[in-house]
Amino acid sequence: MSKRYEIAVIGADSPIAEALLELMAERRFPAGETSALVLDPAAEADVRFAGQALLLEDARQFDFTQVQLAFLADDDPELSAQAERAADAGVVVIDASGQAWPDSAIPVVVPEVNPKALAAFNERGIVASPDRLNVALAPALAALDAAFGLTAVTLTGLIAASDGGRAALEDLARETTALLNARFYERRYYARQIAFNVLGQDADAGVDGYTERERRIADELPGLLGRPRLAVQATLVQVPVFYGDAASIELRFERPVDLELAAERLSALPGFSLEASRLAEDGATPVTDAAMSTDVRLGRLRAVRGEPHALALWLTADNIRRCSALNALANAEIVVRDYL
């Protein structure tokens, strides 16, 4: 990657942008001049890249003809509109926000699973990432699908506050402090108490009983894996954790499962680690193992009792650093290497 690219980060004051800029520096992404675009340039936000503070600029006024590549690091509708404006100006936009785009011409890509889909980026000028849980799930499911023929996925996802952005993080932090000091805190993001609590529904459900994100996970996975008839059942639970999503998963297959082969396939995945210990103290958790890591942690691999064609496992990953920032950056690395 000897050529350097002028870059804009749209939503540069978001948690995703912070992780993205750190990874760009660590992985020596070929960035030239880097512009930090926000909705409120007057806000006191410290945005840094490779140790240097970046000047905040108004995303709505920015001239996108100055850059070749843009990262969208926030799903705010105003910022998404600026990302579309950038694409219309000929900029390649890599979405790290994980939002659902209504335009079917926009490829949705996990580079370890369907990198060839990136070839379609030029039709709309935007590359999207799937739901954060699907970013972590898809490579593991693809490996097991190749071994045994995946037919059904049932998962319960435990969703960290950072999936909701700064407002959700602030609710968890301030409500925790308020309750510990016997004070009241008026939440901005969550409808009910999140501190010291678990919410069994991540959002309002539709007439079918599923939330929008639960339906999205179920709709995305078959396409990512090239398994159009794959049955996916997702339940999402909000938990009082700042960073790190997790999931308890049951999988069913066409062929009987060999647990040793399953462990071998999962252990061979780059960026994945499988915990073989049966001790509770060795189990991977979002806070102690996933947060701030780029690895996806797997564990509790076991047979489903009475079902030789099924297995269960546990997964946890940093939803911001691994599933948002790194997935987008890996997509960008392929785009600049192979297509620009």
Q: How many residues does the chain have?
A: 340
- Picking from 216, 250, 19, the residue whose alpha carbon sits closest to that of residue 133 is 216
Residue 224: pLDDT over 80? yes
Measured distance CA(135)–CA(330) in Å, rounded: 12
Whether residues 225 and 108 fall in one domain = no
This prediction has a pTM of: 0.94
Whether residues 116 and 158 fall in one domain = no
- Picking from 230, 98, 222, the residue whose alpha carbon sits closest to that of residue 160 is 98
Whether residues 282 and 221 fall in one domain = yes
Whether residues 284 and 159 fall in one domain = yes
Structure token pair of residue 161: 């506050």
- Indicate which CATH number applies to the domain containing 271: 3.30.360.10
- Indicate which CATH number applies to the domain containing 96: 3.40.50.720
Whether residues 142 and 284 fall in one domain = yes
Whether residues 96 and 163 fall in one domain = no
Give the number of domains in the chain: 2
Whether residues 91 and 187 fall in one domain = no
Residue 258: pLDDT over 90? yes
Q: Measured in Å, how far apart are the chain's first and last C-alpha atoms?
A: 11
For 31-87, what is each residue's pLDDT tens digit?
Answer: 999 999 999 998 878 899 988 999 999 999 999 999 999 999 999 999 999 999 999
What's the mean pLDDT when you consider all of the chain?
A: 95
Structure token pair of residue 225: 């894996």
Cβ neighbours of 164 (radius 10 Å): 19
Domain limits for position 65: 5-129+324-338
Residues facing residue 253 across a β-bridge: 150
pLDDT band for 152, please (50, 70, 90 cuts).
very high
Whether residues 156 and 53 fall in one domain = no
Structure token pair of residue 145: 């699908």
Structure-derived torsion over alpha carbons of residues 163, 164, 166, 168, reported in degrees to the nearest 10:
-120
Q: Which residues contact 288 (CB under 8 A, 6 or more apart)?
A: none
Whether residues 308 and 333 fall in one domain = no
Whether residues 309 and 197 fall in one domain = yes
pLDDT band for 144, please (50, 70, 90 cuts).
very high
**DSSP class of 261:** H
Residue 1: pLDDT over 60? no
Whether residues 163 and 221 fall in one domain = yes
Provide the CA 230 distance to its chain's centre, in angstroms: 21
Whether residues 331 and 313 fall in one domain = no
For 80-100, what is each residue's pLDDT tens digit?
Answer: 999 999 999 999 999 999 999
Q: In this structure, are residues 97 and 73 in contact, taking their beta carbons and an 8 Å threshold?
A: yes
Residues facing residue 238 across a β-bridge: 159, 199
pLDDT band for 256, please (50, 70, 90 cuts).
very high
Cβ neighbours of 248 (radius 10 Å): 16
SS3 11: coil
For 186-198, what is each residue's pLDDT tens digit?
Answer: 999 999 999 999 9
